[in-house]
C-alpha cells in the first residue's frame, strides 16, 4: 500500500510539471493563441493536441487547428451551433463569476473552477460550512458520466485548508480525515481515530473522507487508492476520453499537401493493406480505406463527388520509391441513395511494388466536400529465399463468377473476388473465408506438407475449431479455405494457420477476428480494375521504382518491356531514355527519340537528344539541340553549363565563357564554374 501511495503522489506532482513545460513552450505564441492554449482549453486539450499546436508555425495553421479542435468536439455537426463549445465557454464564465474570489487568480484557475469546467454542474451539492470542529467543506455529487471513463457515481470534495482562503480539492490520501478536523490531536495516519472523530461531527463528510466513490466496499479504514486515481487521473482526462485526436497529427503531417479548407475536415477511417503475388510473380499491394463517412452532393437527380487519392511509398532512408495520384469522379442516380445512405463506403485499389522495407501513406480527399482521410504505416515486400507465408486475409464473401477474370483488380485473387473488412468483423450467419499464399516450398515439401487451422476463443483460450489438410490437396500455392460460423458465439477469436513438414512447424501466421451480436451493414465498394494496358503500365511502374532505388540495370529491363509494347508512348519513351542516359547507352537513345523529333512532341525530346549527343562526344550536334532547347523552353542552368562545356570541347572558348557567365548570373554560388571562367579568361589574356 505504501508503494501505491508514493506512486500516486508522484502522479499528482507530475501533472503541474507537464503543464509548466507546455507553458514554457507556449511563451512565444502570439497573445491570442497563448490565451487560447493556456487559459481557454487548458483543461480539455489532449497531449497530442498540445504537442501539435506548439509545432505549428503560422497563424493561419493555428486558426485551422482551432477550427478543427472544436469541430472534433461538436456533438451535432449538422447544426450551425457547436453545443460543446457554447457549454465550455459558459462553464468558464460561471467559474470566473462564482469561484476564486478568495485567491489572487481568476476563477477558472481555482480547484472548484477547474472541476466545474471539466465536469459541469454537479447533480447535488452538500455544504458543511459552520460545523464546530471541522473545516468548511463542500461535497459535489456526480452521476451518469461512465462514458467519460468515470465511476457511475462519485463525489468531489472541497475544503478550506486551515479554515482560510480558497476552497481546495480534497484528497483522501494526501489529507485524510485528520485534514478536515480543526482540533485533531492524534497521529494523522491513524485513520480509524480521525474517521471516528469526524463521524461524530458529520457522518456524511466522514464517509467521503476515505473514499469518494460510494459503491466502493471498504474492508479496512484507510484512504481509497481508487479515489486518488479518480481525482489525479480520471477526472483530468475525462474531457479527452471521447475525443479522437488523430486529426491533430494529420494536420501536422499533411500541412502544405492538403488545402487549408480541407485540413479542418479530417475524417477517421478503418483501413487494410495486404501484399500478394499475382500469377506472373509480381508483388501487388492491395489496400482499402473505409472513411467514417462520404459526403455526396445532390444535383439534378444525381449524387456526385470527386475523389483524389495521393499515395507515397518511401524506403527506410525516406527516399520516395513510388508516388501516384488518381482522380476519380463518383456519379450515382438518386434512386440508389436508399441502398447506400446507411452504409460505409469502401475505396479499394492496388499497385505493384518491388521487394524491400517501406513506409507508406495514402491520402484520400473529397474535393467537393473538402474532407480528407489518410492511412499510413510500415510495409514489407519480402525478399527472403526459401519458404515464406503471406499474412492471412479474412473475408466475409468470395465471389467466383466475376467479369474481371484475368484482370488486375483489388482483392481479386485466383479469379475470385474476396470481400474483406478492415475490422475483421463477422456475424454468426457468415462464412469465414481464409486466404493466404505460401511460396518457396520444395517439391518434396509440397507433396508431404500439412496445413493446420485452429480457431481459438480469446476469453478462455479454448480451441473451438481445428482442421488439417495436405498441401497437395490444394491446386496451387494460393490457399482458400472456408469455415461456417453458424455455431460460433458472439465473441473475439484468433485464427492460427500453421504449416508442418515432417512434424516440424515451419511457418505460422495469425489473424484476429470477432463475431458481432448485431447484424453488420456491409459497405458499398468502389473498386476499379487497372486499365486494359495494365501489363505495360505495370512494367513502367516497376521500372520507375527500381530507378528511384538507383538500381538502373533492373529499371532498364522493365522500361524496355513497357517501351517494346508501345514504342510510340511519350511516357514510356521518356522513361526508357532516362535510364539509358544513366547507363550511358547513348546510341540507343537516338533511335528512340527520332520519331518524336519529327512530330508535335519535339520540344519534349530536345534535351534528351542533346544529352545523348553530348555523352557520345558529338559536341557540335549537341550545341544545336541545347540551343534549340533554350530558345523554346527558356533558361536552365544545367543546360547553360552543358552548352558551355560543348563549346569548350569544340575549341570555342569565347562562347563557352559567355554561357558560363550567363549561368553565373542566374546562380552566382557555382564556385567551380566561377574558377573555371577565371582560368579561361587568364589564358585569353595571355597570363598563362
What is the model's pLDDT at position 152? 95
**What is the pLDDT of the chain when averaged over all its residues?**
91
For the segment 305-327, what is each residue's pLDDT rounded down to a tens digit?
999 999 999 999 999 999 999 99
Interatomic CA distance for residues 235 and 126, integer angstroms: 20
- Mean pLDDT computed over 279-302: 93
For the segment 636-669, what is each residue's pLDDT rounded down to a tens digit?
999 999 999 999 999 999 999 999 999 999 999 9
What is the model's pLDDT at position 218? 66
Q: pLDDT: is 24 or 355 the higher one?
A: 355
What is the model's pLDDT at position 533? 53
CA–CA–CA angle 110, 111, 112 (5° rounding): 90
- Label the pairing between strands 450-457 and 492-501: antiparallel
Contact 194, 130 (CB under 8 A): no
Contact 496, 474 (CB under 8 A): no
Cα–Cα distances in Å, from 677 out to 533, 647, 680?
A: 51, 13, 5
Does the pLDDT of residue 233 top 60, yes or no?
Answer: yes
- Cell numbers for 337, please give them: 441513395
What is the model's pLDDT at position 24? 54
DSSP for 358-380 reads EEEEEEEEETTTTEEEEEEEEEE
Interatomic CA distance for residues 150 and 229, integer angstroms: 10
Interatomic CA distance for residues 375 and 50, integer angstroms: 22
Does the pLDDT of residue 383 top 80, yes or no?
Answer: no
For the segment 13-42, what is each residue's pLDDT rounded down to a tens digit?
334 434 444 555 788 899 999 999 999 999
What is the model's pLDDT at position 242? 87
Q: Which H helix or E strand runs over 591? A: helix 586-597
For the segment 414-425, what is each residue's pLDDT rounded down to a tens digit?
889 999 999 999
Interatomic CA distance for residues 655 and 643, integer angstroms: 9
What is the model's pLDDT at position 12? 39
Interatomic CA distance for residues 350 and 263, integer angstroms: 26
Which of 275, 318, 245, 237 lies closest to 68 in space, CA to CA? 245
Which of 202, 224, 199 lies closest to 213 in space, CA to CA? 224
Interatomic CA distance for residues 324 and 342, integer angstroms: 31
- Mean pLDDT computed over 204-229: 89
What band does 279 get if pLDDT is binned at 50, 70 and 90? confident
What is the model's pLDDT at position 531? 66
Cα–Cα distances in Å, from 406 out to 402, 435, 527?
A: 10, 19, 16
- Label the pairing between strands 345-352 and 524-527: parallel
Does the pLDDT of residue 110 top 50, yes or no?
Answer: yes
What is the model's pLDDT at position 74? 93
What is the model's pLDDT at position 561? 95
How many percent of the chain have pLDDT more than 70? 95
What is the model's pLDDT at position 621? 96
How far is C-alpha 304 from the chain's CA centre? 27
Contact 283, 275 (CB under 8 A): yes
For the segment 451-497, what is each residue's pLDDT rounded down to a tens digit?
999 999 998 999 999 999 999 999 888 999 999 999 999 999 999 99
Domains annotated for the chain, with CATH where assigned, are 2-240 (no CATH), 534-684 (1.25.40.10)
What band does 686 get if pLDDT is binned at 50, 70 and 90? very low
Which of 408, 414, 440, 434 lies closest to 286 in space, CA to CA? 408
- Cell numbers for 611, please give them: 544529352
- Mean pLDDT computed over 151-159: 97
Interatomic CA distance for residues 388 and 231, integer angstroms: 52
Q: pLDDT: is 530 or 373 the higher one?
A: 373
Interatomic CA distance for residues 207 and 225, integer angstroms: 15
- Cell numbers for 646, please give them: 560543348
Q: pLDDT: is 100 or 89 the higher one?
A: 89
- Mean pLDDT computed over 552-556: 98
Q: Which residue has the cell 529465399?
A: 385
Interatomic CA distance for residues 113 and 90, integer angstroms: 12
What band does 532 get if pLDDT is binned at 50, 70 and 90? low
Interatomic CA distance for residues 423 and 523, integer angstroms: 12
What is the model's pLDDT at position 402? 74
418 beta partners = 398
Interatomic CA distance for residues 127 and 141, integer angstroms: 11
What is the model's pLDDT at position 28? 87
HSE-CB for 453 with a 13 A CA cutoff: 19
Q: pLDDT: is 78 or 604 the higher one?
A: 604
Interatomic CA distance for residues 44 and 40, integer angstroms: 9
Contact 574, 559 (CB under 8 A): no
What is the model's pLDDT at position 219? 63
Query: E strands, 485-571, where?
Result: 492-501, 504-515, 524-527
Contact 673, 642 (CB under 8 A): no
Does the pLDDT of residue 200 top 80, yes or no?
Answer: yes
Which of 385, 416, 382 lies closest to 398 in space, CA to CA? 416
Q: Which residue has the cell 573555371?
A: 676
How many percent of the chain have pLDDT more than 90? 79
- Cell numbers for 352, please give them: 505493384
Which of 434, 427, 420 lies closest to 389 in space, CA to CA? 434
Amino acid at each position: 500500500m505504501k508503494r501505491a501511495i508514493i506512486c500516486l503522489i508522484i502522479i499528482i506532482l507530475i501533472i503541474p510539471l507537464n503543464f509548466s513545460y507546455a507553458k514554457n513552450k507556449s511563451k512565444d505564441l502570439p497573445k491570442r493563441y497563448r490565451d487560447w492554449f493556456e487559459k481557454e482549453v487548458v483543461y480539455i486539450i489532449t497531449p497530442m493536441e498540445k504537442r501539435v499546436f506548439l509545432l505549428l508555425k503560422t497563424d493561419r495553421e493555428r486558426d485551422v487547428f482551432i477550427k478543427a479542435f472544436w469541430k472534433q468536439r461538436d456533438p451535432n455537426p449538422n447544426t450551425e451551433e457547436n453545443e460543446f463549445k457554447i457549454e465550455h465557454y459558459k462553464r468558464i464564465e460561471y467559474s470566473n463569476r462564482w469561484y476564486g474570489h478568495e485567491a489572487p487568480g481568476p476563477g477558472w484557475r481555482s480547484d472548484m473552477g477547474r472541476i466545474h469546467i471539466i465536469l459541469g454542474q454537479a447533480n447535488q451539492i452538500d455544504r458543511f460550512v459552520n460545523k464546530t470542529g471541522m473545516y468548511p467543506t463542500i461535497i459535489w455529487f456526480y452521476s451518469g458520466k461512465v462514458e467519460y471513463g468515470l465511476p457511475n457515481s462519485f463525489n468531489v470534495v472541497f475544503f478550506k485548508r486551515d479554515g482560510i482562503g480558497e476552497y481546495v480539492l480534497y484528497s483522501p490520501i494526501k489529507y485524510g480525515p485528520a485534514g478536515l478536523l480543526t482540533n485533531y490531536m492524534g497521529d494523522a495516519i491513524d485513520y480509524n481515530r480521525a474517521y471516528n472523530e469526524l463521524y461524530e461531527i458529520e457522518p456524511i463528510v466522514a464517509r467521503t473522507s476515505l473514499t469518494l466513490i460510494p459503491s466502493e466496499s471498504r474492508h479496512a479504514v484507510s484512504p481509497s487508492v481508487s479515489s486518488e486515481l479518480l481525482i489525479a487521473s480520471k477526472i483530468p482526462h475525462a474531457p479527452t476520453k471521447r475525443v479522437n485526436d488523430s486529426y491533430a497529427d494529420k494536420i501536422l503531417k499533411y500541412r502544405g499537401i492538403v488545402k487549408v479548407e480541407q485540413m479542418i475536415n479530417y475524417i477517421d477511417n478503418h483501413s487494410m493493406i495486404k501484399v500478394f503475388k499475382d500469377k506472373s510473380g509480381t508483388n501487388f499491394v492491395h489496400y482499402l480505406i473505409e472513411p467514417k463517412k462520404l459526403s455526396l452532393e445532390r444535383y439534378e437527380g444525381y449524387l456526385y463527388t470527386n475523389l483524389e487519392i495521393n499515395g507515397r511509398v518511401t524506403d527506410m532512408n525516406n527516399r520516395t520509391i513510388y508516388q501516384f495520384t488518381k482522380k476519380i469522379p463518383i456519379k450515382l442516380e438518386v434512386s440508389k441513395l436508399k441502398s447506400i445512405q446507411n452504409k460505409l463506403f469502401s475505396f479499394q485499389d492496388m499497385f505493384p511494388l518491388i521487394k524491400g522495407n517501406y513506409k507508406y501513406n495514402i491520402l484520400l480527399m473529397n474535393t467537393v466536400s473538402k474532407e480528407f482521410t489518410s492511412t499510413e504505416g510500415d510495409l514489407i515486400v519480402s525478399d527472403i529465399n526459401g519458404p515464406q507465408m503471406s499474412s492471412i486475409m479474412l473475408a466475409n464473401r468470395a465471389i467466383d463468377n466475376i467479369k474481371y477474370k484475368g484482370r488486375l483488380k483489388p482483392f481479386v485473387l485466383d479469379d475470385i473476388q474476396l470481400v474483406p473488412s478492415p475490422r475483421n468483423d463477422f456475424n454468426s450467419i457468415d462464412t469465414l473465408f481464409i486466404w493466404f499464399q505460401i511460396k518457396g516450398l520444395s517439391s518434396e515439401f509440397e507433396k508431404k506438407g500439412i496445413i493446420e487451422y485452429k480457431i481459438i476463443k480469446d476469453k478462455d483460450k479454448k480451441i473451438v475449431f481445428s482442421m488439417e489438410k495436405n498441401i497437395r490437396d490444394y491446386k496451387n500455392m494460393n490457399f482458400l479455405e472456408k469455415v461456417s460460423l453458424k455455431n460460433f458465439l458472439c465473441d473475439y477469436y484468433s485464427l492460427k494457420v500453421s504449416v508442418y513438414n515432417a512434424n516440424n512447424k515451419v511457418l505460422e501466421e495469425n489473424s484476429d477476428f470477432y463475431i458481432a451480436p448485431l447484424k453488420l451493414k456491409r459497405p458499398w465498394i468502389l473498386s476499379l480494375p487497372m486499365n486494359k494496358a495494365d501489363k505495360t503500365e505495370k512494367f513502367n511502374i516497376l521500372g520507375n521504382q527500381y530507378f528511384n532505388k538507383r538500381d538502373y540495370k533492373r529499371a532498364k529491363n522493365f522500361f524496355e518491356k513497357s517501351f517494346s509494347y508501345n514504342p510510340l508512348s511519350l511516357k514510356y519513351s521518356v522513361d526508357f531514355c532516362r535510364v539509358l542516359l544513366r547507363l550511358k547507352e547513348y546510341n540507343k537513345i537516338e533511335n528512340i527519340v527520332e520519331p518524336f523529333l519529327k512530330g508535335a512532341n519535339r520540344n519534349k525530346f530536345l534535351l534528351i537528344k542533346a544529352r545523348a549527343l553530348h555523352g557520345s562526344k558529338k559536341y557540335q550536334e549537341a550545341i544545336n539541340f541545347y540551343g534549340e532547347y533554350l530558345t523554346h523552353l527558356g533558361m536552365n542552368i544545367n543546360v547553360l553549363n552543358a552548352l558551355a562545356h560543348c563549346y569548350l570541347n569544340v575549341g570555342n572558348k569565347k562562347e563557352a565563357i559567355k554561357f558560363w557567365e550567363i549561368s553565373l548570373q542566374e546562380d552566382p554560388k557555382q564556385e567551380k564554374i566561377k574558377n573555371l571562367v577565371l582560368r579561361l579568361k587568364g589564358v585569353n589574356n595571355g597570363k598563362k
